[in-house]
A and B are shown apart, each in its own frame.
Chain A
Protein backbone atom coordinates (compact mmCIF):
# COMPACT_ATOMS: atom_id res chain seq x y z
CA UNK A 1 0.00 0.00 0.00
CA UNK A 2 1.30 3.45 -0.88
CA UNK A 3 1.73 5.69 2.08
CA UNK A 4 0.65 9.27 2.51
CA UNK A 5 4.13 10.75 2.23
CA UNK A 6 4.79 9.00 -1.06
CA UNK A 7 1.56 10.30 -2.54
CA UNK A 8 2.24 13.83 -1.37
CA UNK A 9 5.83 13.67 -2.62
CA UNK A 10 4.62 12.87 -6.13
CA UNK A 11 1.98 15.60 -6.01
CA UNK A 12 4.54 18.11 -4.74
CA UNK A 13 7.06 17.18 -7.45
CA UNK A 14 4.47 17.82 -10.14
CA UNK A 15 2.61 20.84 -8.80
CA UNK A 16 5.43 22.72 -7.09
CA UNK A 17 8.71 21.51 -8.60
CA UNK A 18 7.95 21.55 -12.31
CA UNK A 19 8.21 17.80 -12.81
CA UNK A 20 6.88 17.20 -16.28
CA UNK A 21 7.23 15.02 -19.30
CA UNK A 22 9.01 17.30 -21.70
CA UNK A 23 8.02 15.53 -24.85
CA UNK A 24 6.32 12.58 -26.43
CA UNK A 25 7.91 12.26 -29.83
CA UNK A 26 6.62 9.87 -32.46
CA UNK A 27 9.31 8.67 -34.83
CA UNK A 28 7.95 7.83 -38.28
CA UNK A 29 9.69 6.20 -41.19
CA UNK A 30 8.96 7.95 -44.47
CA UNK A 31 10.85 5.45 -46.62
CA UNK A 32 7.58 4.11 -48.04
CA UNK A 33 6.60 7.63 -49.16
CA UNK A 34 9.26 7.97 -51.86
CA UNK A 35 7.64 8.50 -55.26
CA UNK A 36 8.78 9.50 -58.75
CA UNK A 37 8.03 13.21 -58.36
CA UNK A 38 8.46 15.74 -55.56
CA UNK A 39 4.75 16.53 -55.57
CA UNK A 40 3.69 12.90 -55.23
CA UNK A 41 6.29 12.30 -52.52
CA UNK A 42 5.18 15.40 -50.60
CA UNK A 43 1.57 14.19 -50.75
CA UNK A 44 2.52 10.76 -49.44
CA UNK A 45 4.61 12.30 -46.65
CA UNK A 46 1.73 14.54 -45.60
CA UNK A 47 -0.75 11.67 -45.69
CA UNK A 48 1.41 9.32 -43.67
CA UNK A 49 2.11 11.83 -40.92
CA UNK A 50 -1.53 12.84 -40.61
CA UNK A 51 -2.65 9.21 -40.66
CA UNK A 52 -0.13 7.79 -38.19
CA UNK A 53 0.33 10.74 -35.84
CA UNK A 54 -3.16 12.25 -36.10
CA UNK A 55 -4.05 11.09 -32.60
CA UNK A 56 -0.73 12.01 -30.99
CA UNK A 57 -1.85 15.30 -29.44
CA UNK A 58 -5.19 13.96 -28.16
CA UNK A 59 -3.44 10.89 -26.73
CA UNK A 60 -0.84 13.06 -25.02
CA UNK A 61 -3.59 15.13 -23.45
CA UNK A 62 -5.43 12.04 -22.33
CA UNK A 63 -2.33 10.61 -20.64
CA UNK A 64 -1.61 13.98 -19.09
CA UNK A 65 -5.10 14.05 -17.52
CA UNK A 66 -4.88 10.42 -16.38
CA UNK A 67 -1.60 10.80 -14.52
CA UNK A 68 -2.06 14.45 -13.63
CA UNK A 69 1.29 15.42 -15.12
CA UNK A 70 1.97 18.04 -17.79
CA UNK A 71 3.18 16.70 -21.13
CA UNK A 72 4.69 19.85 -22.51
CA UNK A 73 5.37 18.94 -26.13
CA UNK A 74 4.04 16.49 -28.66
CA UNK A 75 6.33 16.10 -31.62
CA UNK A 76 7.09 13.99 -34.66
CA UNK A 77 10.48 13.02 -36.03
CA UNK A 78 10.91 11.57 -39.50
CA UNK A 79 13.47 9.78 -41.66
CA UNK A 80 16.17 12.24 -42.81
CA UNK A 81 14.52 14.19 -45.61
CA UNK A 82 17.77 14.27 -47.60
CA UNK A 83 17.11 10.57 -48.33
CA UNK A 84 13.39 10.91 -48.99
CA UNK A 85 14.00 13.52 -51.69
CA UNK A 86 17.14 11.87 -53.08
CA UNK A 87 15.68 10.82 -56.41
CA UNK A 88 12.84 13.28 -56.82
CA UNK A 89 14.41 16.48 -55.45
CA UNK A 90 12.00 19.27 -54.55
CA UNK A 91 13.24 19.53 -50.97
CA UNK A 92 11.37 22.74 -50.24
CA UNK A 93 8.15 21.09 -51.29
CA UNK A 94 8.87 18.33 -48.77
CA UNK A 95 9.62 20.89 -46.03
CA UNK A 96 6.30 22.58 -46.70
CA UNK A 97 4.49 19.22 -46.58
CA UNK A 98 6.07 18.50 -43.17
CA UNK A 99 4.99 21.91 -41.90
CA UNK A 100 1.45 21.50 -43.24
CA UNK A 101 1.15 18.08 -41.61
CA UNK A 102 2.50 19.43 -38.30
CA UNK A 103 -0.08 22.22 -38.33
CA UNK A 104 -2.87 19.84 -39.31
CA UNK A 105 -2.26 17.47 -36.38
CA UNK A 106 -1.45 20.26 -33.91
CA UNK A 107 2.02 19.11 -32.83
CA UNK A 108 4.64 21.57 -31.57
CA UNK A 109 7.52 20.68 -33.87
CA UNK A 110 8.49 18.21 -36.55
CA UNK A 111 12.14 17.17 -36.85
CA UNK A 112 14.01 15.43 -39.62
CA UNK A 113 14.90 18.03 -42.21
CA UNK A 114 18.20 16.31 -41.84
CA UNK A 115 21.31 15.15 -43.64
CA UNK A 116 23.94 12.75 -42.32
CA UNK A 117 27.19 13.70 -44.01
CA UNK A 118 29.84 12.82 -41.43
CA UNK A 119 32.12 11.19 -44.00
CA UNK A 120 31.00 12.82 -47.21
CA UNK A 121 27.98 14.36 -48.89
CA UNK A 122 26.25 13.08 -52.01
CA UNK A 123 24.96 15.59 -54.58
CA UNK A 124 21.41 15.20 -53.30
CA UNK A 125 22.50 15.80 -49.70
CA UNK A 126 24.36 18.91 -50.81
CA UNK A 127 21.24 20.08 -52.61
CA UNK A 128 19.17 19.54 -49.48
CA UNK A 129 21.63 21.39 -47.22
CA UNK A 130 21.49 24.33 -49.63
CA UNK A 131 17.75 24.64 -48.97
CA UNK A 132 17.94 24.64 -45.14
CA UNK A 133 17.92 28.41 -44.65
CA UNK A 134 14.95 28.86 -46.94
CA UNK A 135 13.10 25.88 -45.50
CA UNK A 136 13.47 27.27 -41.98
CA UNK A 137 12.25 30.64 -43.20
CA UNK A 138 9.22 29.33 -45.06
CA UNK A 139 8.08 26.93 -42.33
CA UNK A 140 7.17 27.43 -38.69
CA UNK A 141 7.41 23.98 -37.15
CA UNK A 142 10.09 22.21 -39.16
CA UNK A 143 13.42 21.56 -37.42
CA UNK A 144 16.64 20.76 -39.20
CA UNK A 145 19.84 18.99 -38.25
CA UNK A 146 23.03 17.97 -40.00
CA UNK A 147 25.51 15.43 -38.70
CA UNK A 148 28.99 16.46 -39.75
CA UNK A 149 31.18 14.13 -37.69
CA UNK A 150 31.32 10.79 -35.91
CA UNK A 151 33.85 8.91 -33.85
CA UNK A 152 34.13 6.27 -36.58
CA UNK A 153 34.24 8.60 -39.57
CA UNK A 154 36.06 11.64 -38.19
CA UNK A 155 35.04 15.19 -39.07
CA UNK A 156 33.87 16.21 -42.53
CA UNK A 157 35.43 19.67 -42.62
CA UNK A 158 33.85 20.53 -45.98
CA UNK A 159 30.47 20.07 -44.32
CA UNK A 160 31.65 22.05 -41.28
CA UNK A 161 32.60 24.93 -43.55
CA UNK A 162 29.27 24.72 -45.33
CA UNK A 163 27.26 24.68 -42.10
CA UNK A 164 28.91 27.87 -40.85
CA UNK A 165 27.60 29.52 -44.01
CA UNK A 166 24.14 27.94 -43.65
CA UNK A 167 23.84 29.20 -40.07
CA UNK A 168 24.71 32.70 -41.25
CA UNK A 169 22.24 32.47 -44.15
CA UNK A 170 19.48 31.27 -41.83
CA UNK A 171 20.19 34.13 -39.42
CA UNK A 172 19.97 36.63 -42.27
CA UNK A 173 16.82 35.20 -43.81
CA UNK A 174 15.02 35.25 -40.46
CA UNK A 175 16.51 38.64 -39.42
CA UNK A 176 13.05 40.17 -38.96
CA UNK A 177 12.50 37.77 -36.05
CA UNK A 178 15.87 38.00 -34.31
CA UNK A 179 17.30 35.23 -36.52
CA UNK A 180 14.98 32.70 -34.89
CA UNK A 181 15.52 30.24 -37.77
CA UNK A 182 18.86 29.29 -36.20
CA UNK A 183 17.04 28.04 -33.09
CA UNK A 184 15.59 25.32 -35.32
CA UNK A 185 18.95 24.17 -36.71
CA UNK A 186 21.44 21.88 -34.97
CA UNK A 187 24.83 20.76 -36.24
CA UNK A 188 25.80 17.43 -34.69
CA UNK A 189 28.72 15.14 -34.11
CA UNK A 190 27.67 11.56 -33.29
CA UNK A 191 23.96 12.31 -33.78
CA UNK A 192 21.64 9.70 -32.29
CA UNK A 193 18.77 8.07 -34.17
CA UNK A 194 16.20 8.10 -31.37
CA UNK A 195 16.49 11.57 -29.88
CA UNK A 196 13.06 12.91 -28.89
CA UNK A 197 14.31 16.47 -28.32
CA UNK A 198 14.22 19.31 -30.81
CA UNK A 199 15.70 20.76 -32.83
CA UNK A 200 17.84 17.68 -33.38
CA UNK A 201 15.28 14.88 -33.56
CA UNK A 202 15.17 12.63 -36.61
CA UNK A 203 14.03 9.05 -37.14
CA UNK A 204 17.04 6.87 -37.87
CA UNK A 205 17.22 4.22 -40.55
CA UNK A 206 17.69 1.49 -37.94
CA UNK A 207 14.33 2.26 -36.38
CA UNK A 208 10.94 0.58 -36.77
CA UNK A 209 8.13 2.19 -38.78
CA UNK A 210 6.42 3.97 -35.89
CA UNK A 211 8.10 4.50 -32.54
CA UNK A 212 7.38 6.43 -29.36
CA UNK A 213 10.31 8.15 -27.63
CA UNK A 214 9.77 10.10 -24.46
CA UNK A 215 11.91 12.82 -22.92
CA UNK A 216 11.55 13.49 -19.22
CA UNK A 217 12.67 16.52 -17.32
CA UNK A 218 12.83 17.77 -13.76
CA UNK A 219 15.73 20.08 -12.82
CA UNK A 220 13.49 21.64 -10.16
CA UNK A 221 12.91 18.29 -8.50
CA UNK A 222 16.65 17.57 -8.32
CA UNK A 223 17.41 21.01 -6.90
CA UNK A 224 14.73 20.65 -4.23
CA UNK A 225 16.07 17.24 -3.25
CA UNK A 226 19.56 18.71 -2.86
CA UNK A 227 18.21 21.52 -0.68
CA UNK A 228 17.44 18.88 1.95
CA UNK A 229 21.17 18.05 2.34
CA UNK A 230 22.91 21.43 2.54
CA UNK A 231 25.86 19.95 4.44
CA UNK A 232 26.02 16.51 2.83
CA UNK A 233 29.27 15.46 1.17
CA UNK A 234 29.46 14.79 -2.56
CA UNK A 235 28.76 11.09 -2.14
CA UNK A 236 25.44 12.06 -0.56
CA UNK A 237 24.86 14.59 -3.34
CA UNK A 238 25.30 11.86 -5.97
CA UNK A 239 23.04 9.43 -4.12
CA UNK A 240 20.32 12.06 -3.80
CA UNK A 241 20.47 12.91 -7.51
CA UNK A 242 20.36 9.21 -8.42
CA UNK A 243 17.28 8.56 -6.29
CA UNK A 244 15.50 11.56 -7.74
CA UNK A 245 16.45 10.69 -11.31
CA UNK A 246 15.10 7.19 -10.74
CA UNK A 247 11.69 8.51 -9.72
CA UNK A 248 11.55 11.00 -12.57
CA UNK A 249 12.49 8.36 -15.11
CA UNK A 250 9.89 5.92 -13.82
CA UNK A 251 7.26 8.47 -14.76
CA UNK A 252 8.80 8.72 -18.23
CA UNK A 253 8.75 4.95 -18.57
CA UNK A 254 5.08 4.81 -17.56
CA UNK A 255 4.11 7.55 -20.02
CA UNK A 256 6.15 6.00 -22.85
CA UNK A 257 4.61 2.59 -22.26
CA UNK A 258 1.07 3.96 -22.07
CA UNK A 259 1.53 6.18 -25.13
CA UNK A 260 2.99 3.40 -27.27
CA UNK A 261 0.12 1.09 -26.38
CA UNK A 262 -2.53 3.72 -27.05
CA UNK A 263 -0.97 4.77 -30.35
CA UNK A 264 -0.12 1.22 -31.43
CA UNK A 265 3.51 2.14 -31.87
CA UNK A 266 6.75 0.50 -30.80
CA UNK A 267 8.14 1.59 -27.46
CA UNK A 268 11.41 3.24 -28.41
CA UNK A 269 13.36 4.81 -25.56
CA UNK A 270 13.13 7.07 -22.58
CA UNK A 271 15.59 9.95 -22.76
CA UNK A 272 16.81 10.68 -19.24
CA UNK A 273 17.40 14.32 -19.74
CA UNK A 274 17.33 17.19 -17.30
CA UNK A 275 15.88 19.76 -19.65
CA UNK A 276 15.48 23.23 -18.20
CA UNK A 277 12.95 25.93 -19.11
CA UNK A 278 13.29 29.68 -18.60
CA UNK A 279 10.97 29.47 -15.59
CA UNK A 280 12.29 29.98 -12.08
CA UNK A 281 12.68 26.60 -10.36
CA UNK A 282 13.42 24.72 -13.58
CA UNK A 283 17.12 25.41 -14.06
CA UNK A 284 20.12 23.09 -14.45
CA UNK A 285 22.45 25.97 -13.54
CA UNK A 286 20.68 26.33 -10.21
CA UNK A 287 21.39 22.66 -9.44
CA UNK A 288 25.10 23.33 -9.95
CA UNK A 289 24.81 26.35 -7.69
CA UNK A 290 22.96 24.27 -5.09
CA UNK A 291 25.90 21.84 -5.13
CA UNK A 292 28.10 24.74 -4.09
CA UNK A 293 29.07 27.15 -6.88
CA UNK A 294 28.58 30.83 -6.21
CA UNK A 295 27.43 31.14 -9.79
CA UNK A 296 27.50 28.89 -12.82
CA UNK A 297 30.65 29.47 -14.86
CA UNK A 298 33.10 29.73 -11.97
CA UNK A 299 35.93 27.18 -11.59
CA UNK A 300 34.38 23.90 -10.48
CA UNK A 301 31.44 24.18 -12.90
CA UNK A 302 32.71 21.41 -15.18
CA UNK A 303 33.27 19.04 -12.25
CA UNK A 304 29.81 19.70 -10.80
CA UNK A 305 28.21 19.17 -14.19
CA UNK A 306 30.12 15.91 -14.70
CA UNK A 307 28.89 14.69 -11.33
CA UNK A 308 25.30 15.70 -12.12
CA UNK A 309 25.29 14.19 -15.59
CA UNK A 310 26.71 10.87 -14.42
CA UNK A 311 24.39 10.61 -11.42
CA UNK A 312 21.32 11.33 -13.57
CA UNK A 313 22.27 8.47 -15.89
CA UNK A 314 23.06 6.05 -13.09
CA UNK A 315 19.79 6.80 -11.33
CA UNK A 316 17.68 6.73 -14.45
CA UNK A 317 19.07 3.74 -16.25
CA UNK A 318 17.41 1.10 -14.08
CA UNK A 319 14.10 2.95 -14.10
CA UNK A 320 13.45 2.36 -17.78
CA UNK A 321 13.55 -0.76 -19.91
CA UNK A 322 15.16 1.14 -22.80
CA UNK A 323 17.21 4.25 -22.31
CA UNK A 324 18.46 6.25 -25.28
CA UNK A 325 18.41 9.60 -27.00
CA UNK A 326 20.74 12.18 -25.55
CA UNK A 327 20.24 11.26 -21.88
CA UNK A 328 22.00 13.68 -19.57
CA UNK A 329 21.88 17.29 -18.45
CA UNK A 330 21.12 19.92 -21.07
CA UNK A 331 22.84 23.27 -20.80
CA UNK A 332 21.04 25.57 -23.22
CA UNK A 333 21.71 29.19 -22.37
CA UNK A 334 18.53 31.02 -23.36
CA UNK A 335 16.29 28.29 -21.96
CA UNK A 336 17.74 28.29 -18.44
CA UNK A 337 17.28 31.23 -16.10
CA UNK A 338 20.44 30.38 -14.13
CA UNK A 339 22.54 30.23 -17.32
CA UNK A 340 21.08 33.55 -18.47
CA UNK A 341 22.07 35.17 -15.16
CA UNK A 342 25.53 33.57 -15.39
CA UNK A 343 26.11 35.11 -18.83
CA UNK A 344 24.59 38.46 -17.87
CA UNK A 345 26.87 38.80 -14.84
CA UNK A 346 29.98 37.80 -16.78
CA UNK A 347 30.54 34.60 -14.81
CA UNK A 348 29.75 32.26 -17.70
CA UNK A 349 31.75 32.56 -20.91
CA UNK A 350 31.61 30.72 -24.21
CA UNK A 351 34.91 28.96 -23.52
CA UNK A 352 33.61 27.60 -20.20
CA UNK A 353 30.45 26.40 -21.91
CA UNK A 354 32.63 24.56 -24.41
CA UNK A 355 34.45 22.80 -21.57
CA UNK A 356 31.10 21.90 -19.99
CA UNK A 357 29.97 20.23 -23.21
CA UNK A 358 32.75 17.68 -22.80
CA UNK A 359 31.00 16.20 -19.77
CA UNK A 360 27.29 16.74 -20.38
CA UNK A 361 24.57 15.62 -22.66
CA UNK A 362 24.92 17.71 -25.78
CA UNK A 363 26.74 20.88 -26.67
CA UNK A 364 26.70 24.60 -27.27
CA UNK A 365 22.98 25.09 -27.21
CA UNK A 366 20.77 28.14 -27.73
CA UNK A 367 23.64 30.58 -27.54
CA UNK A 368 23.08 34.01 -29.03
CA UNK A 369 26.23 35.51 -30.53
CA UNK A 370 26.91 38.79 -32.32
CA UNK A 371 25.30 39.11 -35.76
CA UNK A 372 28.64 40.04 -37.33
CA UNK A 373 30.31 36.76 -36.29
CA UNK A 374 31.80 35.40 -39.49
CA UNK A 375 30.79 32.14 -41.13
CA UNK A 376 34.31 30.77 -40.66
CA UNK A 377 34.23 31.51 -36.93
CA UNK A 378 30.90 29.67 -36.64
CA UNK A 379 32.41 26.79 -38.63
CA UNK A 380 35.39 26.77 -36.27
CA UNK A 381 33.07 26.66 -33.23
CA UNK A 382 31.33 23.69 -34.87
CA UNK A 383 34.70 22.03 -35.53
CA UNK A 384 35.77 22.47 -31.89
CA UNK A 385 32.53 20.92 -30.63
CA UNK A 386 32.79 18.09 -33.14
CA UNK A 387 36.36 17.40 -31.99
CA UNK A 388 35.17 17.09 -28.38
CA UNK A 389 32.40 14.69 -29.42
CA UNK A 390 34.51 12.61 -31.80
CA UNK A 391 37.45 12.18 -29.45
CA UNK A 392 35.32 11.50 -26.38
CA UNK A 393 32.90 9.21 -28.18
CA UNK A 394 29.84 11.25 -27.29
CA UNK A 395 27.22 13.37 -28.98
CA UNK A 396 27.98 17.05 -29.24
CA UNK A 397 26.12 19.75 -31.09
CA UNK A 398 26.08 23.40 -31.92
CA UNK A 399 22.96 25.54 -31.97
CA UNK A 400 24.18 29.12 -32.04
CA UNK A 401 22.19 32.13 -33.18
CA UNK A 402 24.20 34.96 -34.75
CA UNK A 403 21.47 37.50 -34.15
CA UNK A 404 21.34 39.88 -37.10
CA UNK A 405 22.10 43.48 -36.13
CA UNK A 406 22.92 42.72 -32.51
CA UNK A 407 26.24 42.89 -30.64
CA UNK A 408 27.76 41.63 -27.41
CA UNK A 409 25.82 42.86 -24.40
CA UNK A 410 22.48 43.26 -26.24
CA UNK A 411 19.66 40.94 -25.30
CA UNK A 412 17.40 38.92 -27.55
CA UNK A 413 13.94 37.63 -26.69
CA UNK A 414 12.90 34.40 -28.46
CA UNK A 415 9.77 33.83 -26.41
CA UNK A 416 8.14 30.73 -24.94
CA UNK A 417 10.34 27.77 -24.12
CA UNK A 418 13.17 29.25 -26.19
CA UNK A 419 13.54 32.04 -23.61
CA UNK A 420 15.82 35.05 -23.90
CA UNK A 421 19.55 35.52 -23.99
CA UNK A 422 22.27 38.08 -23.63
CA UNK A 423 24.49 38.10 -26.73
CA UNK A 424 27.75 36.36 -25.78
CA UNK A 425 31.16 37.56 -26.77
CA UNK A 426 32.98 35.57 -29.45
CA UNK A 427 36.69 35.84 -30.21
CA UNK A 428 37.39 37.89 -33.33
CA UNK A 429 40.74 36.19 -33.98
CA UNK A 430 40.34 34.48 -37.34
CA UNK A 431 40.35 30.73 -38.06
CA UNK A 432 39.80 31.46 -41.78
CA UNK A 433 42.78 29.57 -43.16
CA UNK A 434 42.00 26.45 -41.12
CA UNK A 435 38.37 26.39 -42.25
CA UNK A 436 39.23 27.18 -45.91
CA UNK A 437 41.49 24.15 -46.18
CA UNK A 438 38.49 21.78 -46.30
CA UNK A 439 38.96 18.02 -46.39
CA UNK A 440 38.50 15.67 -43.46
CA UNK A 441 39.86 15.23 -39.99
CA UNK A 442 40.49 11.51 -39.67
CA UNK A 443 38.76 9.33 -37.11
CA UNK A 444 40.68 9.38 -33.85
CA UNK A 445 42.77 6.60 -32.43
CA UNK A 446 40.96 4.76 -29.67
CA UNK A 447 43.84 3.01 -28.06
CA UNK A 448 46.98 4.35 -26.33
CA UNK A 449 44.67 6.85 -24.67
CA UNK A 450 45.96 9.69 -22.56
Chain B
Protein backbone atom coordinates (compact mmCIF):
# COMPACT_ATOMS: atom_id res chain seq x y z
CA UNK B 1 0.00 0.00 0.00
CA UNK B 2 1.33 3.39 -0.99
CA UNK B 3 0.65 6.64 0.77
CA UNK B 4 1.61 10.27 0.90
CA UNK B 5 2.70 11.98 4.08
CA UNK B 6 2.39 15.75 4.25
CA UNK B 7 4.18 17.77 6.88
CA UNK B 8 3.16 21.44 7.11
CA UNK B 9 4.17 24.01 9.71
CA UNK B 10 6.86 26.28 11.06
CA UNK B 11 10.36 25.30 10.02
CA UNK B 12 12.81 24.14 12.68
CA UNK B 13 15.84 21.91 13.02
CA UNK B 14 15.26 18.18 12.86
CA UNK B 15 11.79 17.79 11.30
CA UNK B 16 12.93 15.46 8.52
CA UNK B 17 15.13 13.51 10.92
CA UNK B 18 12.29 13.04 13.40
CA UNK B 19 9.72 12.00 10.78
CA UNK B 20 12.19 9.64 9.07
CA UNK B 21 13.10 8.04 12.40
CA UNK B 22 9.41 7.50 13.22
CA UNK B 23 8.86 5.88 9.82
CA UNK B 24 11.89 3.64 10.26
CA UNK B 25 10.52 2.47 13.62
CA UNK B 26 7.27 1.56 11.86
CA UNK B 27 9.14 -0.25 9.09
CA UNK B 28 7.77 2.16 6.48
CA UNK B 29 9.92 2.80 3.43
CA UNK B 30 10.36 6.32 2.09
CA UNK B 31 10.33 6.35 -1.72
CA UNK B 32 10.50 10.06 -2.42
CA UNK B 33 10.81 13.30 -0.53
CA UNK B 34 10.20 16.81 -1.70
CA UNK B 35 10.46 19.79 0.56
CA UNK B 36 10.04 23.54 0.17
CA UNK B 37 9.37 26.65 2.17
CA UNK B 38 6.08 28.11 0.87
CA UNK B 39 5.45 31.65 2.11
CA UNK B 40 7.48 30.97 5.23
CA UNK B 41 5.77 27.64 5.89
CA UNK B 42 7.72 24.40 5.86
CA UNK B 43 6.02 21.99 3.46
CA UNK B 44 7.20 18.44 2.93
CA UNK B 45 5.67 15.63 0.92
CA UNK B 46 6.88 12.05 1.35
CA UNK B 47 5.83 9.18 -0.87
CA UNK B 48 5.93 6.03 1.27
CA UNK B 49 5.39 2.29 0.93
CA UNK B 50 3.47 0.73 3.81
CA UNK B 51 3.54 -2.87 2.54
CA UNK B 52 5.68 -4.04 5.45
CA UNK B 53 4.53 -1.51 8.03
CA UNK B 54 4.44 -2.92 11.53
CA UNK B 55 1.15 -1.24 12.49
CA UNK B 56 -2.21 -0.66 10.83
CA UNK B 57 -2.83 2.44 8.71
CA UNK B 58 -4.87 3.99 11.55
CA UNK B 59 -2.05 3.33 14.06
CA UNK B 60 0.51 4.89 11.74
CA UNK B 61 -1.71 7.94 11.20
CA UNK B 62 -2.06 8.36 14.96
CA UNK B 63 1.68 7.98 15.64
CA UNK B 64 2.50 10.54 12.93
CA UNK B 65 -0.12 13.00 14.17
CA UNK B 66 1.29 12.71 17.70
CA UNK B 67 4.81 13.24 16.41
CA UNK B 68 3.54 16.33 14.58
CA UNK B 69 2.17 17.73 17.83
CA UNK B 70 5.52 17.16 19.49
CA UNK B 71 7.30 18.99 16.65
CA UNK B 72 4.73 21.77 16.35
CA UNK B 73 3.82 20.86 12.75
CA UNK B 74 0.84 19.14 11.13
CA UNK B 75 1.60 15.64 9.89
CA UNK B 76 -0.95 13.61 7.98
CA UNK B 77 -0.81 10.39 5.98
CA UNK B 78 -3.30 9.53 3.27
CA UNK B 79 -3.73 6.55 1.01
CA UNK B 80 -2.49 7.28 -2.51
CA UNK B 81 -5.94 6.44 -3.89
CA UNK B 82 -7.55 9.70 -2.74
CA UNK B 83 -5.02 11.81 -4.65
CA UNK B 84 -5.34 9.64 -7.73
CA UNK B 85 -9.11 9.73 -7.62
CA UNK B 86 -9.14 13.49 -7.45
CA UNK B 87 -6.45 14.30 -10.01
CA UNK B 88 -6.38 11.43 -12.51
CA UNK B 89 -9.16 10.05 -14.69
Contacts of B83 in A (CB 8 A): 2, 6-7, 10
Count residues on chain A whose CB falls below 8 Å from chain B CBs. 21
Determine if B78 and A67 form an interchain contact, defined as CB atoms under 8 angstroms apart: yes
Produce 1/0 per residue, A117-151, CB < 8 A to B.
Answer: 00000000000000000000000000000000000
CA distance A62 to B56 in the complex (A): 10
Q: How far is A85 from B4 in the complex, measured between Cα atoms in Å? A: 50
User: Whole-angstrom distance from the CB of B43 to the nearest CB of chain A?
Assistant: 7
- Judged by a CB distance under 8 angstroms, whether B21 is at the interface is no
Using Cβ atoms and an 8 Å threshold, which residues of chain A touch B85? 250-251, 253-254
Interface centre among B8, B84, B86 (most CB of A within 10 A): B86
Contact B58 A68 (CB under 8 A): no
Chain A residue with the shortest CB-CB distance to B8 = A11
B66 to chain A, nearest CB (A): 14
Within 8 A of B (CB), among A1-55: 2, 4, 6-11, 15
Question: Which single residue of chain A is at the shortest CB-CB distance from B82?
Answer: A67
Are A62 and B6 closer than 8 Å at their CB atoms? no
Q: Is B81 engaged at the interface, CB distance under 8 Å to the other chain?
A: yes
A66 close to chain B: CB less than 8 A: yes
Which residues does chain A contribute within 8 Å of B34, judged by CB atoms?
Answer: 4
Of residues 59 through 100 on chain A, the ones whose CB sits less than 8 Å from some CB of chain B are: 61-62, 65-69
Are the C-beta atoms of B81 and A67 separated by less than 8 Å? yes
Tell whether A341 is near chain B: CB-to-CB under 8 Å.
no
Question: Are A65 and B57 touching (Cβ within 8 A)?
Answer: yes
Interface presence of B76 (CB below 8 A): yes
Judge if B19 is at the interface, Cβ distance under 8 Å.
no
Q: Are B43 and A8 in contact (CB under 8 A)?
A: yes
B76 partner, pick from A2, A4, A15, A254, beta carbons under 8 A: A15
- What distance in Å separates the Cβ of A27 from its nearest Cβ neighbour in chain B? 23
B6 near A8: Cβ-Cβ < 8 Å? yes
What separation, in Å, do the CA atoms of A438 and B29 have in the docked complex? 71
Q: Assuming the A-B contacts A7-B45, A11-B6, A68-B77, are A251 and B87 also in contact, with contact meaning beta carbons closer than 8 angstroms in the complex?
A: no
- Does B79 lie within 8 Å of A4, measured CB to CB? no
* Cα of A2 to Cα of B80 in the assembled complex, Å: 9
C-alpha spacing A7/B80, complex, angstroms: 10
**Is B74's beta carbon under 8 Å from chain A?**
yes
A6 contact from B61, B77, B79, B87, Cβ within 8 A = B87
Does B79 contact A7, Cβ atoms closer than 8 Å? no
Q: How far is the CA of A251 from the CA of B58 in the complex (A)?
A: 19
Most chain B C-beta atoms within 10 Å of own C-beta, residue among A2, A62, A247, A251: A2
Name the contact of B58 in the complex, choosing from A8, A10, A65, A69 (C-beta under 8 A): A65
Contact yes or no, A247 B76, CB < 8 A: no
A10, B45: Cβ atoms closer than 8 Å:
no
Q: Determine if B6 and A66 form an interchain contact, defined as CB atoms under 8 angstroms apart.
A: no
Q: 20 A–B contact pairs at CB < 8 A? A: A2-B4, A2-B88, A6-B83, A6-B86, A6-B87, A7-B83, A8-B43, A8-B45, A10-B83, A15-B74, A15-B76, A65-B61, A66-B78, A67-B81, A68-B76, A68-B77, A68-B82, A251-B85, A253-B85, A254-B82
Nearest first, the 5 A-B pairs at minimum CB distance are A68-B78, A67-B82, A254-B85, A65-B58, A6-B87
